[in-house]
Amino acid sequence: MTIVHYEFLPTRSQRVRWTLLELDVAFESREGRELIGSDELKKVHPLGKLPAITDDGRPLFESAAICTWLADSHPDKGLIAPSGTWERALHDQWCAYIMTEVEAHLWSSARNTFIYPEDERIAAVHAQNAREIRRAMAPLDAHFASNDFFVGGKFSVADIFCGYAINWARRMGHLEGFANVEAYNKRLLDMPNCTLTKE
Ligand SMILES: N[C@@H](CCC(=O)N[C@@H](CS)C(=O)NCC(=O)O)C(=O)O
């Protein structure tokens, strides 16, 4: 057993667990909310955040880096296009787009809903974030009008990574009016190894 996954499932850990299941890789799970901020987790993630892994004892954090590394290190599973290909450039494009144009705003709204102390929360961010998220959804809706998945016409780790944020956006009510993104989200939720929150 070389991979240890530090996880707590409602979190972005869903991405790493789904990637591991999809790759059919054995791993050890260290699970629990109490890991967040713990001395144990800070040895793997400098901020004590989830998800994080060790692979042969080497610490790795950030869900994008972890999922990409896991897919890259199991090339026989075909879950990611090789580095240097156009499909890989598209993988990088969509993951960066989702992180900066969608997830950053979801995270800002979450922080100002239940993470920051009540007297530090700023109500005005919610409408701003919703506007930015909907702006980012329009190109995705156009993409999914003629594509079933993000890259190369087939399911890949980009769908696991980006699908997590799209599912989060759905749960916050941001997919209304984007029928193609909603259909894509449903496609992911119906997949056998899917770890995303369904309700
Ligand atoms: N960009 C990071 C985000 C990590 C992150 O913020 N994780 C949350 C759970 S989803 C966490 O551990 N929060 C605790 C904190 O902010 O201290 C990733 O994608 O892995």
Protein residues whose CB sits closer than 6 Å to any atom of ligand 1: 11-12, 36-37, 49-51, 62-63
C-alpha of residue 187 to centroid of ligand 1, in Å: 26
Give the mean model confidence (pLDDT) for residues 169-191: 98
What pLDDT score does 68 carry? 98
Q: Average pLDDT for residues 140-147, to the nearest whole number?
A: 98
- Give the pLDDT band (50/70/90) at residue 33: very high
- Give the pLDDT score at 1: 59
| Mean pLDDT, the chain, whole residue set | 97
**Cβ burial, residue 72 (10 Å; 0-12/13-18/19+):** middle
pTM exceeding 0.95: yes
| Ligand 1 mutation pick, 6, 8, 9, 12, max ligand atoms within 8 A of CB | 12
At residue 37, the pLDDT reads 98
Which of 49, 68, 99 has the most ligand 1 atoms within 8 A of CB, as the residue to mutate? 49
